[in-house]
Amino acid sequence: MKKVEIHPDAVERVKKFSINDSKLGFGKYVAPIMIQATYDNGEWQKFDLVPYGPLLLDPCSKVLHYGQEIFEGMKVFRQPDDSIKMFRPELNARRFNQSAKRMAMPEIPEDQFIHACEVICAYSKHLVPSRLGESLYLRPFMIATEVGMGIKPSKQFMFVIVASPSGSYFSGDAVKVYIERDDIRCAPGGIGFAKTGGNYAASLNSYDKTIKLGCDQTMWLDAIEHKYIEEMSGMNFLCVIDGTLQTPTITDTILDGVTRKSILDIARAENIEVVQKRLSINEVLEAIRAGRCTEAFVCGTAAVIAPISSFLDKDGTVTRFKEIPGKLGMQLREKLIAIQNGRAPAPEGWLYPVKDLSF
Ligand SMILES: Cc1ncc(COP(=O)(O)O)c(C=O)c1O
């Protein structure tokens, strides 16, 4: 593993940096340092901690034309003893490499990925907020930097991690979901399971439609039958039907969310029955009307869990829940936040302690 080289100007910058704002928001602030590494000649070169700043890119870099890029999103939490811990970083490291493989990009050994994350966290320790639900959000990403117009995989790449002290992505309000019956985002055999920009770019047209219609989130259905629930543009979907916690089975068109996985683990540990299956949107709507589906929620690293208040269909039909927010979703949200912030015992291996560096 290559040790990250620490640049003294980065340390000077971050030492002097502070944020005085009780409303951190999501992605509003970034730490004034970043990790940067390059891949060339078939291997990762140096990893550096440098001052945050613009990236120098040739206009013919492949990422700008063919979208060869991947990213991750993960969080670091302050603990009651003032230490800081990353939440399940090995899952992000693994997913990053799955995305890399699909996008013909080089993998980064898991220990190298986690070490780089740990270094930026350690030097940003004073920027990790301490209120419940707040965190330092890490955004590792990799882009294709080889210069040339040919449509072929790049041989050169840049890996970067930036860090953002963040509050909660959502204000806590319930979300209104627009059911996207026309556009599709990810087809089987495509790139849905990879965290790559193309999936998000494909969702933006529908985002505009969703907002214009007074909703907050787009729900994507399967590409073949336009019937089965997949996920939101940046979150997974769960609902409670007949007292069981149900969620679409992960396939190659759905991102395997760390939050979803953690919620299912917590639910199972509390003897809540978990059902993973193909969930038809019409069946869910019917179950809401029949009073069998009592709540639904979305989940992801940024938002943790946000309850769904209603679904808007293409023909204008609105299906609402009677009770918002639902009980189970809020219980799971509180439990997960308590685990992340060290207020409840964490299952083995969920919290990765960041080494304390005095500088
Ligand atoms: C498309 C998509 N689905 C689901 C998720 C939730 O994944 P996670 O819980 O790992 O953040 C995300 C967020 O990263 C996402 O972008």
Summarised one tens digit per residue, pLDDT across range 172-195 is 689 999 999 999 999 999 999 999
What's the confidence (pLDDT) of residue 22?
A: 81
Preceding amide of 325 cis, omega within 30: yes
Testing ligand 1's pocket by substitution, the residue of 92, 95, 168, 236 carrying the most ligand atoms inside 8 A of its CB is: 236
Range of lowest pLDDT (22-26, 50-54, 209-213, 328-332): 22-26
What's the confidence (pLDDT) of residue 359?
A: 64
Q: How do residues 254-276 score in pLDDT, each as one tens digit?
A: 999 999 999 999 999 999 999 99
What's the confidence (pLDDT) of residue 25?
A: 87
Banded model confidence at residue 31, pLDDT cuts 50, 70, 90:
very high
What's the confidence (pLDDT) of residue 353?
A: 98
The CATH code of domain 175-340 reads: 3.20.10.10
pLDDT of 340 > 80? The answer is: yes
User: What are the structure tokens assigned to 131, written together?
Assistant: 């209120």
Q: What is the mean pLDDT of residues 223-239?
A: 98
What's the confidence (pLDDT) of residue 23?
A: 86
Contacts 24+ apart (CB under 8 A), 97-104: 98/193, 98/194, 99/70, 99/72, 99/193, 99/194, 99/195, 99/196, 100/70, 100/142, 102/191, 102/193, 102/194, 102/196, 103/68, 103/69, 103/70, 103/191, 103/194, 103/196, 104/68, 104/153
Q: How do residues 154-171 score in pLDDT, each as one tens digit?
A: 999 999 999 999 987 656
Q: Atom of ligand 1 at shortest distance to CA of 72?
A: 14
According to the CATH classification, is domain 5-167 in 3.30.470.10? yes
Banded model confidence at residue 332, pLDDT cuts 50, 70, 90:
very high
Q: What is the mean pLDDT of residues 46-73?
A: 98
H runs (alpha helix) in the chain? 8-15, 62-66, 89-102, 110-123, 197-201, 204-212, 258-269, 281-289, 327-340
Ligand 1 pocket, residues with Cβ under 6 angstroms? 73, 231, 234-236, 255, 257-260, 300-301
Residue 49 Cα to ligand 1 middle (Å): 27
Testing ligand 1's pocket by substitution, the residue of 191, 229, 255 carrying the most ligand atoms inside 8 A of its CB is: 255
What's the confidence (pLDDT) of residue 318?
A: 98
What's the confidence (pLDDT) of residue 358?
A: 62
Q: What is the mean pLDDT of residues 199-222?
A: 97
Q: How far is CA 126 from CA 6, 21, 121, in A?
A: 17, 14, 9
Whole-angstrom distance, CA of residue 65 vs CA of residue 62: 5
DSSP state of 186: -
pLDDT of 150 > 70? The answer is: yes
Q: Are 169 and 134 in contact (CB under 8 A)?
A: no
pLDDT of 103 > 90? The answer is: yes
What's the confidence (pLDDT) of residue 172?
A: 65
Domain with CATH 3.20.10.10 in the chain: 175-340
Domain with CATH 3.30.470.10 in the chain: 5-167
Whole-angstrom distance, CA of residue 121 vs CA of residue 357: 10
What's the confidence (pLDDT) of residue 26?
A: 87
pLDDT of 37 > 70? The answer is: yes
Mean pLDDT for the chain overall: 96
Q: How do residues 284-312 score in pLDDT, each as one tens digit?
A: 999 999 999 999 999 999 989 999 999 99
